Structure 1
Amino acid sequence: MSNLISVPKNGTLSNSNSNSNFSTLSHWLDDIFNRDFPSVLTSNFNTGMTLPQVNIKETADAFIVDMAVPGLKKSDFHIDLDNDLLSISTETKEENEHKDANYTRREFGYASFKRSFNLPESVDEDAINARYEDGILSILLPKKEEAKQKPVRNIEIS
């Protein structure tokens, strides 16, 4: 589905006309920050959440965005639509405190992500819906009636 354009975490739009053999600075930075660092470097602040992978499928009637995000609740997600920009984000915070007679241990955890996509004009924005089931967030982006593929029609010659 070439109409949806991924927007990197820094919010800048990727150039769809760029030569795919040359990485842009934003892709290079995304690669650096999404790479698995050795646990020695990240053990104090890594919560294990990475930028989730997205599958986008186009059918005759809709686009379907599936995102694998296990371990969350549907209330953890924020899905916003702002001028044809669909943004999916979550933010989780965790704080544990253990007290014993001789010590206090406090641990903090924080994880978040945000994925954004430019929607094509063919999407019926009023009919978008989402569901979260078995660790998969699915967003249905129905097409407008005039954008739906029409069945093949045989035209008789008179």
Structure 2
Amino acid sequence: MSNLVSVPKNGSLTNTNSNSNFPTLSNWLDDIFNRDLPSVFTSNFNTGITLPKVNIKETADAFMVEMAVPGLKKSDFQIDLDNQVLSISTETKEEKEQKGENYTRREFGYSSFKRTFNLPESVNDESINASYLDGILSIVLPKKEEAKQKPVRSIKVL
């Protein structure tokens, strides 16, 4: 006597005795590779610090760059301008050592980042200034006089 197997419209064969609670190897691998990577893989491995977020705002007179980088000192920043490219970077190292009667504990920490921005020709690169307050690095990029927006004026028809 032969057993007939019903074939669904999509053409796949199904086993009615299978336990659907156990994932197949392909489903398990798909699950691993299709989910988001843990934040430990998308951040700095040593410290968990990610690339700092930046806000850029334009006014009539300047561009303003604000970067959230709490926990640093003013002296930790290196800001360079080279060929209309603004580079903001920092590198911090920390070493701790604790000695006990039967042990020595050492911890090393390292974090760094570098962000670069291509500046428009309208920036007056001689007047750029930066400040650091309450974890926010602020950089003001003043515009050249000819690039500043002029106020609206009315023209009379003669």
For Structure 1 versus Structure 2, the TM-score category normalised by the shorter chain is 0.7 to 0.9
TM-score by length of 1: 0.73
**CA displacement at 1:138 relative to structure 2:** 0.2
Question: For the residues of structure 1 that align with 2:48 and 2:141, how far apart are their CA atoms?
Answer: 30
Q: Distance in 2 between matches of 1:49 and 1:132?
A: 19
- The structure, 1 or 2, with the larger RCO (C-alpha pairs under 8 Å, 6+ apart) is 1
Q: List aligned pairs for 1:1-158, cutoff 5 A.
A: 36-37=39-40, 45-158=45-158
* CA displacement at 1:46 relative to structure 2: 2.2
Query: Hey, what's the Cα distance between the residues in 1 that align with 2:121 and 2:78?
Result: 22
For residues 96 and 47 of structure 2, the distance between their equivalents in structure 1, rounded to whole angstroms, comes to 13
Q: 5+ residue gaps in structure 1?
A: 1-31
Q: Give me the whole-angstrom Cα distance separating, in 2, the residues matched to 1:80 and 1:154.
A: 42
**Counterpart-to-counterpart distance in 1, 2:98 and 2:132:** 33
Q: Please list every run of 5 or more consecutive structure 2 residues that lacks an aligned counterpart in the other structure.
A: 1-36
CA contact (8 A) 2:91 2:110 kept: yes
Considering only aligned residues, what root-mean-square deviation do their CA atoms show, in Å?
Answer: 1.8
1:37: Cα distance to partner?
A: 2.1
One-letter amino acid of the structure 1 residue matched with residue 142 of structure 2:
P
Aligned to 1:37, what secondary structure does the other structure show?
helix
Q: CA deviation at 1:105?
A: 1.1
Residues 40 and 48 of structure 2 are in contact (CA less than 8 Å); yes or no, is this contact kept in structure 1? no
Distance 1:105 1:135 in 2: 30
Identity of aligned residues (%): 75
Count of aligned pairs: 121
Which one has the largest radius of gyration?
2
Q: How far is the alpha carbon of 1:101 from its aligned partner?
A: 1.1
